[in-house]
Structure 1
Amino acid sequence: MRDRARIVIIGAGIAGTSTAYHLAKLGVTDVVVIDQGPLFRTGGSTSHAPGGMFQTNTSRTMASWARYTIQTFAGLEVDGKSGAAFLGGIELAETPARMQELKRRRGLQQSWGIPGEILGPSEVKRMIPIIDETKIHGGLYVPDDCIGRPLLAAEAMGIAARAAGIDFHGEVEVTGFERTDGRVSAVVTDKGRIEAEMVLCCAGIWGPKVGRLAGVPIALQPMQHQYVKTEALGILKELSQGGAVESAMPLIRAQDHSLYFRQHFDQFGIGNYRHAPLPVDAETLLPFRLAPRMPSCMEFTPEHFEECHRATVNLFPVVAGAAQADAFNGIFSFPPDGMPLMGEHADLPGFWVCEGVWITHSAGIGRSMAHWMVEGDPGIDVREADVNRFARFQTTRRYVNDRGSQQYREVYDIIHPLAQPSVARGLRTSPMHDRHVANGAHFWDVAGWERPAWNEANAPLTANLALPKREGWAAEEWSPIQGAEAVATRSAAGLYDISTFTKLVVEGPEAARFLNYVLANDVDKAVGQVVYTCMLNPRGGVISDMVVTRTGADEFLMLTGTGSGLSDLAHMQKVARAKGLGSDRLRIRNVTHEYCGIGLWGPKAREILAAVSDSDVSDAGVPYYKSRLIQIGYVEARVLRISYAGELGFEIYMPAPHGRATWDALVEAGAPHGLVACGIGALDSLRIEKGYRLAGADLTGDRTALEAGLGWSVNMKKGDFIGRAAIEAQKAAGVPTRLCCLTLDDDTAVALGKEPVLKDGAPVGYVTSANYGYAVRKMIAFAYLPVALATVGESVEIEYLGARYSATVANDPLFDPEGKKLRA
């Protein structure tokens, strides 16, 4: 075994072999892959995964990885056997609610470019002869869903990577790591140490243990999951032509009972999520050499299979009375939010993570990891999967267990886009939290923060307003109070708790130069100047957007998103390290919990602020896009003359201990002016009719700032910055798509996001975000459309739960297009 390598990969399961395979494709072969088990049946989840690969996912990124993976598996071969069998997949609907969900998923397929169709019961029966079609309402069929052969795929990719020059070693156990100058510098094993520039942890269910050895948290919960194979069934033997065909039926999901099925020649395979979560401590998992059986397979617990068996027999009567030929509790990985963990860990430079990877997405994720490690960009938006997205408390053992258990329970549930977690709540609150509780706030969990979505105390405001109504799916996690709060903000003033925004202080003699390299706009302005800008990747894609204020000669305050802040911080720290900027030249401090924030927006905002401050808050005293320190009662606060609501107003930041007193003072002063405490449901409505983009939805790393309509925030005169070359090239060539504002023509129509946008019946884009604009009285949706369709007045359709509604490309923004209210 070599004693040094550019990259050491820990784990030779599907994630590790896939990354090695794609590194080799990039010509990077100074790589060593090690695993504690034998190659390539290492004993992890890859070794027992049933291999069902369904592509449809609410995440565009995950669906993209899945499509690439099935194509890659189909091209892999060992001993003449392919890595994939294209049988198609069918998701069954046993209830009307699930049938509606299948229509939503068919919409997702159109948005992501996945072929599919809704089938009736008799059509499902033709494809699945053993089903009792009277028990279903229909199904969703995808012709190129497939059975993946993960062990074969891992072996094939490992063989190809080895042939290219990458070393693989089995039965090598990691015992520790070495650090030099704060970076990982070597992997210590029971067979010796390997010096490395980078280490990639692909240890799967052992990931948390490897993370502990490295001194970094890996937020992953291993969970037991049941899989059973019946004895041989005569009808399946007949369908498989006497055992010649592995499966004559598509893959099957019966998600109403948290089940999935596949044919194994003359046997029937049953996967069961319909049991209580059975978490496993990663520290107790044995390596292959010590385990009495495969370490990721535990003893079958029949008491957890009883409900599953009844539901299976109900759908497939031929299974009644069939004995079990094989049954085990296999172990899979569940992160707190169900998404993979990817990227270089902020706590240990050089230590990369690729965990929580399911077979379905493995080749796509491996390709992204290889490009990310070698080229600095994964080639696709990975915001949802960034390993640095979690706050420290979200990586504690109990949090990961409880949220991971919820992910297990809900893996096949019908989940509303705004559905809120039911466990591990109330852990991150602002100083004004008790005031929100007193107002009857309905809270949403945003990156672990409790944020008011609306306040029940404002219900009387709905009485005299002609607000649109919602029913069914569209009415979940929604209230007409959001509309009343939006109207109150536009007519008088709204008070918003914005404490959750990530607050970073960037300081030092290199601060201005550094920020001008990592951000697209020019922030090297006079003290007190506020600048809106974006953080771009090398492709010109928008990683995040933020507001930056120069607060001193060598000091800047950066305000970025609640959910993206920790990833933004990790990205900036990584760039700073690459530039060799030590703490004597640059410091980046996360002061999010030191300060709280209040948004005071609306035509009465200045009068209200003036009532509690002796400072000059006039237009001359605090001009638009300027920042000042002012006195509010006894408290010194920083105000920024900006407004996410598109109204006159201020963002106000003060030390967290003073937040509640400041809030109370504003509430008292605002009462005569009609001030209303509002939630983020209203704020989202206000921002969309003003044309403000939402990071993570309208803004992603896969669309450039030019496509997003933010070219005005990119300064090409200031010198080099990340993404500059891509922006220059696109300026010359022209953008392929543009983010467009659409209004739905039917006043009763609703969109929630991710619905397909169609022209002449064919998908041309998808809804990135949507909400009702109460000032313009229209349902508004944003969508990237081909430039040929990105013209005001162009007619398209949006498909919502199977129904199609006409929509029109509209002016952007719809509300106060000249910005007069902001500058009042």
Structure 2
Amino acid sequence: MSDYDIAIVGAGIVGTALAAQLASHARVLVLDRRGQAGSTALAPGYVGQLNTLAPLTELAQRSVAAYRAISGAFDDVGGLEVATSPAELDAMEVRAALARSRGLPAEVVSGARARELAPAFVEGVEGGLHFPSDGTADARVITAAYRAAALAAGAVFVDADVSAIEEGVEGEGTQRKEGMERTEGTERKEARKVTLATLAGPFSAHTLVLCTGVWSGDFLPLPAVSVAHMYAYSAARPRRPRSPFVRIPSANVYTRDHGDVDGIGSYDHDPVEVSADAMRTHTCAVGGFDAFHDVLARALRVLPAHTRVGFEGGVTSEGGADEGGERAERAFAEMRRAREEGQACAFNGLFKVTPDGMPLAGRVRKGVYCAVGVWVTHAAGTTGVLADMILEDLGMGEAKDLELRKALDPLRFEGKADAVEVALRTYNDIPRTLRNFMQDAAP
């Protein structure tokens, strides 16, 4: 049996970033399924730093600073939110003031200037709010860079699916824990050692960190829900001058230039939950597209006709959002083939949402940590906070970012019976439509 100080389960952007931050301090093992297409592989890469929740703004700013230090990881194209009515434009003035109060440059622009900034995506608008320091991140480049840094510092990566976790508890020997649930009435039992069963053999560590994204329900009963979400790519086209990514809050739509194709996503639908049981059959974070054809059609109507035509006749996968296994693998393969051949395509990508929109990142109990519901926008900032916490608990660092730790605490919803239902409802709060801006942005 191989023994490590820290075992991280999940080698997406979160797991690799955490490994890179810890590997120079301890013996780190990272386990992940081979060839898995998790949320990182599917992330479209929009990075808007302003959020009405101040901790998310701070984590996004830290993440952007980290991504800018990686060659080819972050493109400073800026972000643009557009207003389709005078009232919406007035609300953007309040949002701009909020951005500037948090150290983010922001400027309300006219309709003509908005069209000039993003002619492929904007027409017939009242104006917009331009964030010049926002941009787009290439999650695969970032993940590869963090993996290389972790390997250089001595981390070990193993392609293996974790089938079971056994947790040694002080005074009770070794107990097998199905899903690692906590027994009612007990408080954060102290783990001496954790053993992970895989086809590559057993591995043990004194500290365990679960960064398993949409598969987190396999190991921890946390109030985070896997949801389905559509995204589409246009057919290949000639490259054009760079454009900021664009959000159209009144339509719950966002769109961007990916270089040789355009992309569009939409939250304009009721949330579609994918249960933990259904996720166990998924080997990649995609599902069937049948529920999203009308959603895509509505989203495309907000684009200028000369851009909309590029999405026509796109390849989509069949089946319901929660259908997994071989069908999910085929859906991902179809999307990859279509993109390689320059065809338009659309897919259903799965990700986690939490009751308040914040990641669940921190200590579950002594020796056991998690980072769940973490987006690319906040990944580097969140793992920085978590790494400092782990190092402090191991006697290798000092307490830092106590307010952020509190905001990210994965146990903050304990005792709230409706936490899962609330998490599902937050899916429609993600775009924060302009009618909410005035209330949210008020000092």
Could you state the TM-score of these two structures normalised by the residue count of structure 1? 0.45
Q: 2:135 pairs with 143, 146, 161, which one?
A: 146
Matched letter for residue 90 of structure 2 = Q
Q: Which residue among 407, 419, 439 is the counterpart of 1:384? A: 407
- Aligned equivalent of 1:405: 424
Amino acid at match of 2:145: A
1:239–1:380: structure 2 CA closer, same or farther, 3 Å change rule? farther
Q: CA deviation at 1:123?
A: 0.7
Please, which of 294, 299, 305 is the counterpart of residue 317 of structure 1? 305
Report the residue type matching 1:29 in the other structure: A
Are 2:18 and 1:29 equivalent residues in the alignment?
A: no
Contact map agreement 1:54 1:145 (CA 8 A) in 2? yes
Q: Does residue 1:285 correspond to 2:304, yes or no?
A: no
Listed one character per residue, the Cα deviations across residues 164-188 of structure 1 (whole Å, up to 9, x for unaligned) are: 0111112332412222213332132
Give the letter aligned to residue 165 of structure 1: G
Q: Secondary structure at the match of 1:90?
A: strand
1:19 aligns to 2:18 (yes or no)? yes
The equivalences for 1:720-799 within 5 A come to 755=443
Contact 1:186/1:193 (<8 A) preserved: no
Structure 2 distance, partners of 1:232, 1:43, is 23
Any conservation in 2 of the 1:45–1:332 contact (CA below 8 Å)?
yes
When structure 1 is superposed on structure 2, of 114-123 and 405-414 the one drifting more is: 405-414
The residue aligned with 1:10 is 9
The 5-angstrom pairing of residues 35-114 of structure 1 reads: 35-38=32-35, 42-77=36-71, 82-114=72-104
Matched residue, 1:189: 197
2 CA distance for matches of 1:409 and 1:316?
25
Q: How far apart are residue 56 of structure 1 and its match?
A: 0.7
CA distance 1:183–1:231, change in 2 (3 Å): same
What are the ranges of 5 or more consecutive residues in structure 1 without an aligned counterpart? 212-216, 241-247, 420-472, 475-751, 756-824
Three-state SS of the structure 1 residue aligned to 2:411 is: helix
Q: Equivalences for 1:336-355 in 2 at 5 Å?
A: 336-345=355-364, 348-355=365-372
Report the count of equivalent residues. Answer: 386
Q: Distance in 1 between matches of 2:87 and 2:428?
A: 18
Distance verdict in 2 for CA 1:753–1:73, change over 3 Å:
closer
Q: 2:176 matched to 1:175?
A: no
1:98–1:414 contact (8 Å) kept in structure 2:
no
Question: What's the CA shift for 1:219?
Answer: 1.3
Question: Shift in Å at residue 310 of structure 1?
Answer: 3.5
Q: Report the Cα offset of residue 309 of structure 1.
A: 2.8
SS of residue matched to 1:260: strand
CA contact (8 A) 1:132 1:317 kept: no
Which residue does the alignment assign to 1:129? 119
Amino acid at match of 1:17: T
Q: Is the CA contact 1:37–1:43 (under 8 Å) kept in the aligned structure 2?
A: no
Query: 1:435 maps to what in 2?
Result: none
Separation in structure 2 between the aligned mates of residue 410 and residue 162 of structure 1, nearest angstrom: 38
Q: Does the 8 Å contact 1:230/1:326 carry over to 2?
A: yes
3-state SS of paired residue (1:336):
coil
* Deviating more after overlay: 250-259 vs 372-381: 372-381
Given that 2:265 and 2:299 are in contact with CA atoms closer than 8 Å, whether structure 1 keeps it comes out as no
Residues 98 and 401 from structure 1, CA distance in 2 versus in 1: closer, same or farther, beyond 3 angstroms? farther
Q: Quick one: distance in 2 between partners of 1:15 and 1:118? A: 34
In the alignment, is residue 266 of structure 1 matched against residue 260 of structure 2? yes
CA contact (8 A) 1:221 1:400 kept: no
CA spacing shift, 1:54–1:164, aligned 2, 3 Å: same
User: What is the match of residue 233 of structure 2?
Assistant: 229
Q: CA deviation at 1:308?
A: 4.3
Check conservation: 1:120, 1:137, Cα contact below 8 A: yes
Change (3 A) 1:386 1:101: farther
Q: 1:68 to 1:132 in 2, by over 3 A?
A: closer
Sort the Cα spacing of 1:401 and 1:319 in 2 relative to 1 into closer, same or farther, 3 A. Answer: farther
Q: 1:327 to 1:252 in 2, by over 3 A?
A: same
Report how far residue 90 of structure 1 moved: 0.5
Paired AA for residue 199 in structure 1: L
Q: In percent, how many aligned pairs have the same letter?
A: 27
Deviation digits for residues 543-589 of structure 1 (CA, Å, limit 9, x no counterpart): xxxxxxxxxxxxxxxxxxxxxxxxxxxxxxxxxxxxxxxxxxxxxxx
Aligned letter for 1:186? V
SS where residue 34 of structure 2 aligns?
coil
Question: Structure 2 matches for 1:194-205, cutoff 5 A?
Answer: 194-205=203-214
Question: Quick check: 1:342–1:387 contact (8 Å CA) kept in 2?
Answer: yes
Q: In 1, distance between residues paired with 2:296 and 2:381?
A: 32
User: Is the 8 Å Cα contact of residues 221 and 401 (structure 1) preserved in structure 2?
Assistant: yes
Relative CO higher for 1 or 2, CA cutoff 8 Å, sep ≥ 6?
Answer: 2
Cα distance, 1:286 vs structure 2: 4.5
Decide which of 248, 258, 268 is 1:254's aligned counterpart.
Answer: 248
Counterpart amino acid of residue 12 in structure 1? A
Aligned CA distance change for structure 1 residues 122 and 160 (closer, same or farther; 3 Å): same
| Distance (whole Å) between structure 2 residues aligned to residue 159 and residue 219 of structure 1 | 33
Amino acid at match of 1:278: V
Inter-CA distance 132–202: structure 2 relative to 1 (3 Å threshold)? closer
Kindly indicate which of the two structures has a greater share of residues assigned to helix.
Answer: 2
Residue 365, structure 1, aligned to residue 382, structure 2: yes
Q: 8 Å contact 2:162–2:197 — kept in the other structure?
A: yes
Show the 5 A alignment for 1:152-551: 152-181=141-170, 182-184=189-191, 185-190=193-198, 191-211=200-220, 217-233=221-237, 237=238, 239=240, 248-286=242-280, 291=283, 295-301=284-290, 303-322=291-310, 323=312, 324=314, 325-345=344-364, 348-376=365-393, 377-379=399-401, 381-382=403-404, 383-394=406-417, 399-414=418-433
Task: Give, as a single letter, the amino acid of the residue that structure 2 aligns with 1:128.
Answer: A
User: Residue 73 of structure 1 aligns to a residue in which SS?
Assistant: helix
TM-score calculated relative to the size of structure 2: 0.81
Name the residue aligned to 1:686.
none
Alpha carbons 2:88, 2:435 under 8 Å: kept? no
Equivalent position of 1:499 in the other structure = none
Aligned mates of 2:441, 2:108 — CA distance in 1: 21
Alpha-carbon distance in 2 for matches of 1:18, 1:183: 26
RMSD: 2.3
Offset at residue 363 of structure 1 (A): 0.5
Q: Distance in 2 between matches of 1:119 and 1:260?
A: 18
Alpha-carbon offset, residue 163 of structure 1: 0.6
CA contact (8 A) 2:88 2:434 kept: no
Aligned-pair CA distance for 1:753: 7.6
Alpha-carbon distance in structure 2 between the residues aligned to 1:360 and 1:60? 14
* Partner in structure 2 of residue 531 of structure 1: none
8 A Cα contact 2:266 2:299, kept in partner? no
Deviations 1:565-623, CA, capped at 9 Å, x for gaps: xxxxxxxxxxxxxxxxxxxxxxxxxxxxxxxxxxxxxxxxxxxxxxxxxxxxxxxxxxx
Note the alpha carbon deviations across 1:9-58, whole angstroms, 9 max, x for none: 1111111111111123xx313111111234xxx32111100011110111
Q: Give the AA of the match of 1:187.
A: T
Q: Deviations over 1:216-249 (max 9, x none)?
A: x21110100000012235xxx2515xxxxxxx11
Q: Secondary structure at the match of 2:133?
A: coil
Conserved in 2, the CA contact under 8 Å of 1:208 and 1:219?
Answer: no
Counterpart amino acid of residue 229 in structure 2: H
5+ residue gaps in structure 2?
171-188, 315-343, 394-398
